[in-house]
Chain A
Amino acid sequence: MSDLNRRDVLKLGAVGAAGAVAGLGFPAVIRAQAKEVVMLGIWPFTGAFSDVGPILDRGMKMALEERGMKILGRPIKYITRDSATQAGASTRRVEEAVDGEGAKFVIGPWSSGVALAVSEVAKRKKVLHYFSGGTEDISGARCHRYSFQWAASPYTAAKTVVDTFMKANPRAKRWHLLVADYAFGWSVEKYIKEVGKTHGLEFVGADRHPLGEREFSNYVTKAAGNKPDVVAMINFGLDAVTAAREIFNFGLTPKLPLIMSWSSGVEELVQLAPEIRENLWVGSNFYYTTDTPVAKEFVKSYQAKFGGPPGYAPAAAYGMTRMLLHGFDRAKSVEVQDVVKGLEGIEVNDLVGRMRVDAQTHQTLRPFFFMRSKPKSAMKNPMDFADIIATGDTPLPAQYAACKDIGSF
C-alpha cells in the first residue's frame, strides 16, 4: 500500500462511512497514482481565448514527447482540461483532475485572472503550478511555494521595450499609451513610465480601454489629437489586434511607429495584414527566430509537424514543461515538494537563453525580446514577420518586489 493510499484511507475513516463508500469508487485511480506522474494542462479550449488552447496543448505535448513521456523512469500521464477562461470552471476542473485523476503538476491556463484562481487551488491542494504570464501577482503579491511564473517580469519587458526603442528612435520623445484596463496593464504602464523618465520621455496621453473593447475609433482619434511621436499599446490578443487595425485605418501607422509592448508575437501578427504591420515594433516573450539551440530544435520540429512557426503560446507551454522537467531532474524525485525545491534557484540554458528561477519569488529570470516588423517587400515567406532587434533581461528592482515572503509548504 502506497503512502498516498494510506493517507486517503485515514482521511476517509475520519469523515465517516459515507466517505469510505465514496473512496471505494476510485480504487483504480489511487492505484494508478503510484506508478504514473500525472500532469495537467489546463488550457482555454472554449471561451475568450479558445483560439490559443489547442496550440498551448501542442507545446506541452511536444515537450513531454521529447522525453518519451517519461520522467526519472516513470511514465507521464498527460491530461488536459478546458479552462474556458472562467475562474469558477477552471477551479472546479483542476480540483477534479487533482482529486480524481491524481494530477500533481499543473501548467496553465492562459488568462491572468483565471491563473490566480488556479494558483489558489495549487496552494490549497499542494500541487505544483507553472503559469506563463500576464499578472504580476503570481511572483508578487500573491506568491506562494507552489506557483511559478515563466514569462518575464513586466519590468523586464518595459525596460527592454523603452531602452531599445529609444536607441533606434532617439527623437521620439512624445509617447501616447493605450492600456488595457486591468491590473497587468497598469503594472506595465507604471514601469514604462518609470523607465521613460530616464530617457526624458513625455507621455502626452495614456488611455485605458476595457478588456474586450472592439470599438477603438474614439481612442485612435484621441491619440491622433495628442500628436505623439509614437503610440505604445499595452494590451493583448484580440484587443491588440483590433486596436492595431484601427490605428492603421485612421492613418497613424505607418507614418508613426506603433509599439505592441507585451505581444504574443506570431499569433497576433498573423491576424494583421502586411500593410498594417508596417512600422510596427513588438515586444514578446518568444519569437521563433530566437537564436538558442533549444529554440532552433523546437521551431524545426514544430514547423515540420504543424506547417507554421510557433508563437508565444506554444513556446510558453513548451518552455514551462521543459523547466518543470528540469526541476524533476535536479530534485531526482517525483514528489511535489522536492520538485518545487528543485526548481528554486535552478539555472539552465534553455528555450530563450539563460533562465533562472528566483527562489525568493518563483519568478523565472530570463530574456525578453523586442522585434521590428518587416515591410512586405522584405518578407521571405508569409510567416517572416519581424527581426529580433534586441533582448533584455534586467530583473525587477528590489524596491518594486511585492513578494516579501514566499512562505512554507
Chain B
Amino acid sequence: MLYALMGLGLSLITGVLNIPNFAHGALFAVGAYFLFSAIHAVGNFWLALVLAPVGVALLGLAIEYAGIRPLYAAGHDYQLLFTFGLSLILSEGIIVVWGPIGFSQLPPPLLRGGFDLGFIFYPKYRLFVMVMAGLLVLATWLFLEKTRYGAIMRAGIESKEMVSLLGIDVHRLFTAAFALGAYLAGIAGALTAPIRGLSPSMGVDMLGIAFVVVALGGLGNLLGAIAAGLIIGVAQAVVALYWTEASVAVIFAIMAAILLVRPQGLFGIR
C-alpha cells in the first residue's frame, strides 16, 4: 500500500507536469525526518503526522515555483538534471542537518504490539499504516474524481491546451499537482519511519520502486499506479517466501516483462 501511495504521488507529478521527478525519493526521506523532528518539537505523534507531510508539501510548492516552473519548455534532459540535482541537495542536506547516522522511531504507544492471528503475528502499526494508506489513496481518488479541482487536474493530464483554453491558470494547476504529489511522498515517508527507521539513504531505496510502479501503472494513470503498487508489493512478498535472494530483482523483472507485452503499462492508454 505504501508503494501505491508513492506511485500515486509520482504518477500525479509525471502525469500533470510531464517531468521525470528524480527528487521524489528525497521528498519521501524528508517526510520521515520532518516527522522525527516534529515529534521532538510538539511531543505528539499524531500532530506530527499531520504537520510533517504539510511541511513537505510546502517544500514542494517552493521547489515547483522557483525551480521547475522555468523548465517546462526545457526538455526532459534538463528537467532530469534539475530534479536529480535537487535530490542530491535534499539527501545531502539531511546528512548536514540530522547527521549521517540513522534513528529509530517507535510507533505511538497506542499502536505498539500486534495481533496474534494464530498462524501469524501482525504488528498493529503495520495494520494502521495499511488502513491509513488505503484511506489516503481513497481520499486522493475521491478528490480527483468528485471535486472541481480534481477534475481540472485530470483534465490537465489529458490535455494542457484544453485546460488553458478554458481560462484556467495552468501554472497554478501545476504547482498544486506538484505540492499534492510531494504531500503524498512526505506522508508515505512519515508513515514508514516507525517501520523501517530513518536513514539518509532511505529515499534512494524507494525511488526505483516508485518509478517502476508509475511505469507499470501507465504514465499519468492514477488508478493504474494504485494497482501496480499493490501488485509489486504482493509480488515481492510472495517471491521473498520462495526465493529470497531475488526479492529486489523481481521488481524489475516484472516491469520488463509487462512492458514487453504491454508497452503502455498495465492500464496505460497512451
Contacts and interface: CB of A to CB of B under 8 A. Distances in A.
A277 B142 CA distance: 43
A297 interface: no
Interface string A268-279: 001111011000
A242 B240 contact: no
A210 B245 contact: yes
Interface of B: 95, 99-104, 106, 113-114, 116, 119-123, 125-126, 195-197, 199-202, 205-206, 236-237, 240-241, 244-245, 247-249
Nearest to A277: B104
A275 B112 CA distance: 11
B125 A249 contact: yes
A260 to B, nearest CB: 15
A54 interface: yes
Interface stretch (A57-65, A130-138, A212-220, A377-385): A212-220
A218 B240 contact: yes
A222 B236 CA distance: 13
A251 B123 contact: yes
Contacts of B237: 217-218
Interface in A210-242: 210, 212-215, 217-219, 221-222, 224-225, 238, 241-242
B78 to A, nearest CB: 25
Contacts of A96: none
A86 to B, nearest CB: 14
A7 to B, nearest CB: 41
Nearest to B125: A249
B120 A275 contact: no
A245 B196 contact: yes
Contacts of A208: 244-245
A130 to B, nearest CB: 24
Given A245-B197, A250-B121, A272 B100 contact: no
B126 A213 contact: no
Contacts of B102: 51, 238, 241, 271
A271 B104 contact: yes
Interface in A182-221: 207-210, 212-215, 217-219, 221
A272 B245 CA distance: 25
17 contacts: A50-B95, A51-B100, A51-B199, A51-B200, A54-B100, A209-B247, A218-B236, A221-B120, A222-B240, A222-B241, A225-B120, A238-B201, A245-B195, A249-B123, A251-B121, A270-B101, A271-B103
